[in-house]
Amino acid sequence: MGQGLPPILWIALGGLSIPMLLFACLIGIEDTRLHMLGVSALAGGIAVVLFTIFALDRPFGTEFRVGPQPFELVVHEIEGTGQQ
């Protein structure tokens, strides 16, 4: 198993970078629709971050949970009854 950030965090970070950059470019624009688009992108980015924090904070209780298979495999290996 590799170490590093979970894929959901990379998705959140990548998905947030573009709206944040666009929002920074839209500051001072007088067109209401364009301004609302920037604000919506920022709100969506905040929602993605909150979802990511929720999913990573509860690894055993959400839809994105850790199953029992890895734990059972380790128990079998420790007991010497590894499956082959």
Average confidence (pLDDT) over 52-81 = 76
- Residue 1, pLDDT score: 47
Look at residue 1 and tell me if it is in a domain: no
Look at residue 24 and tell me if it is in a domain: yes
Residue 58's domain spans which residues?
A: 7-79
- Residue 80, pLDDT score: 82
pLDDT digits (tens, 9 = 90+) for 28-41: 778 888 878 877 88
Average confidence (pLDDT) over 61-76 = 76
Sequence-distant (≥ 6) Cβ neighbours of residue 64 within 8 angstroms: 8, 55
Average confidence (pLDDT) over 5-18 = 77
Among 59, 63, 43, 53, residue whose Cα is nearest residue 12: 53
- The total of structural domains in the chain comes to 1
- pTM of whole model > 0.75? no
Look at residue 2 and tell me if it is in a domain: no
